Amino acid sequence: MKNYTLKDISELAGVAPITVSRVINNDKYVKAETREKILRIIREKGYHPNFAARSLVLKKTKIIGLMVADLENPFFSRLTRGVIQTAENNGYNIITCESKFDNSIGKKYLNMLMDKGIDGLLLANMNVSTDTINDLRRRRIPFVLLTCRMEMPDVNYAIADDYQGGRLAADYIIKLGHKNIAFLKGPDISSSNERFLAYKREMEKNNLEIKDYFISEEVINQYGGYKVTTKLLKEHKDITAIIAINDFVAIGALEAILDLGLSVPENVSLIGYDNINFTKLLKVPLTTINYPKYRCGVAGTKMLLNMLNSKKLNFKERVILKNKLIVRKSCSQIN
């Protein structure tokens, strides 16, 4: 009942420690017979190499940090699955943190993460400051942005095209004849900003006025969607359609609309974004934009793994996937 070290094993086998190390690392310069003997002893004694010692000399932990904005948004659950599965298939583990869209929280946990000796970092939908980027560079921690982007040299990302998706949503609503279209805005992140930009451009292109109350304050979750929608519809009866920054927010909005005694889409059309699980089964099946979450997680993780294996930091890689309109029942023609 003790914890064996490599040295213990070497003594039991009557060889030098380095020989045991060679066996563990599949070095070919070990006689078959010696190898078997050592493996037998390792198995018998239940020996496992010490992770910390190994990391210390190899300067690698095979751990990747993942920072997501909101653990309970199914969008991130799906993304995370892509990340974890890809990492595990390559011998890496994932440490997850939650930024809650709050930069100071994000920074705090980021530091915690970096101090843990992670080999690389995945930042999902986080507004990264130049400070943070510099920090990461100084500490030589390779990173990849997920579902958001920054156009800076050597900042790599895997995203779906939010501007394209945003147009899909706005176009669809506008073509249905709506004119007073509100937009439930998200936090200041590229994904959210580009969706918003697409909305504005399409409104302009179609000569539709954007009254200032069309644009909500920043909303980051279901509850926010509920609050903002309630206020909006109470004060402005002219709104006939709402574009939500994402499904999570849209679900809050839907709840609010129904609680106000209104109907979707008869009184208000509602479109979301992301196509998270369950939106199909909501009281009013939600029309939305499908975001390839899983694929995005996989692509970003693979990109990071490439960076880790090739050692050079001046990569330039980006993956931009496409979104798709999913028509369900939450939008209708205006009469």
Neighbours of 33 (CB within 10 A): 8
Going by C-alpha positions, the residue among 327, 302, 328, 325 that lies closest to residue 315 is 302
Say which entry of DNA, its own copies, none residue 5 contacts (CB below 5 to 8 A, set by partner kind): DNA
Q: Under the criterion CB under 7 A, does residue 24 sit at the interface with DNA?
A: yes
Question: Could you give the CA distance from residue 81 to residue 294 in angstroms, rounded to a whole number?
Answer: 7
236 binds, among its own copies, DNA, none (CB under 5 to 8 A by kind): none
In angstroms, the CA 156 to CA 301 distance is 11
- How many residues bind its own copies, per CB under 8 A? 53
Whichever of 188 and 266 has its CB closer to its own copies, that residue is 266
Q: Which of 1, 29, 209, 281 binds DNA (CB under 7 A)?
A: 29
Q: How many CB atoms lie within 10 A of CB 16?
A: 12
User: Which of 117, 161, 227, 325 touches its own copies (CB under 8 A)?
Assistant: 117
* Contact of residue 131 among DNA, its own copies, none (CB under 5-8 Å per partner type): none
* Nearest-approach distance from CB 241 to its own copies, in angstroms: 20
Rounded to the nearest 10 degrees, the angle between the axes of helix 190-205 and helix 162-175 is: 40
Q: Which of residues 264-303 bind its own copies (CB under 8 A)?
A: 277-278, 280-283, 285
Q: Is 17 in the site for its own copies (CB under 8 A)?
A: no
Using CA atoms, how far apart are residues 268 and 239, in angstroms rounded to an integer? 7
One of 11, 15, 163, 328 touching DNA (CB under 7 A): 15
Asked if residue 316 binds DNA (CB under 7 A), the reply is: no
Write down the residue that tokens 């982007």 correspond to.
149
Q: Does 169 bind its own copies (CB under 8 A)?
A: no
Q: How far is the CB of 54 from its own copies (least distance, A)?
A: 8
Residues 6+ apart with CB under 8 A from 62: 91, 92, 93, 119
Q: Which one of its own copies, DNA, none interacts with residue 334, CB within 5 to 8 A by kind?
A: none
- Decide if residue 62 touches its own copies (CB under 8 A): yes
* Contact between 25 and DNA per CB under 7 A: yes
Q: Is 1 in the site for DNA (CB under 7 A)?
A: no
Residue 190 neighbours by CB under 8 Å, 6+ apart: 148, 149, 150, 159, 162
Tell me: does residue 45 bind DNA (CB under 7 A): no
Q: Which of 23, 113, 122, 128 binds its own copies (CB under 8 A)?
A: 113
**Taking Cα atoms as reference points, which of 75, 129, 128, 76 lies closest to residue 98?**
76
Reported as type and span, the H/E element at residue 233 is helix 222-235
Checking 12-19 for CB contacts under 8 A at 24+ apart, the result is: 12/41, 12/45, 13/37, 13/38, 13/41
Q: Does 50 bind DNA (CB under 7 A)?
A: yes
End-to-end, the C-alpha distance of the chain in Å comes to 79
Q: Which residues bind its own copies (CB under 8 A)?
A: 1, 3, 46, 48-53, 55-56, 59, 61-63, 71-72, 74, 77-78, 80-81, 84-85, 88, 91, 93-98, 109, 112-117, 138-140, 222, 251, 254-255, 277-278, 280-283, 285
Q: Which residues bind DNA (CB under 7 A)?
A: 3, 5-7, 14-19, 21-22, 24-25, 28-32, 34, 47, 49-50, 53-54, 56-58
